[in-house]
Amino acid sequence: MEKKELEFIGKFDEHTPFQVLKVSVPEELKILRTKSEDLNLSDELVLKHFINRLKVTLIEEQGVGIAAPQVGINRNLFLFVRIDKEGEPVEVAINPRIVNHPKETICFEGDGCLSIPGVSGNSIRYPWIDVEYTNEQGVRIKERLEGYSRQDNFVGVIFQHEFDHLQGVLFTDKLCPEDPVSLAD
Q: Which of the residues are catalytic?
A: 162
- 18 close to 39: Cβ distance less than 8 angstroms: no
- In angstroms and rounded to an integer, the radius of gyration of the C-alpha atoms of the chain is 16
Burial profile 145-182: b = 16 or more Cβ within 10 angstroms, e = fewer: bbbbeeeebbbbbbbbbbbbbbebbbbeebbbeebeee
Q: DSSP assignment of 82-148, as one string? A: -TTSTT--EEEEEEEEEEE--S--EEEEEEEETTEEEEEEEEEE-SEEEEEEE-TTS-EEEEEEE--
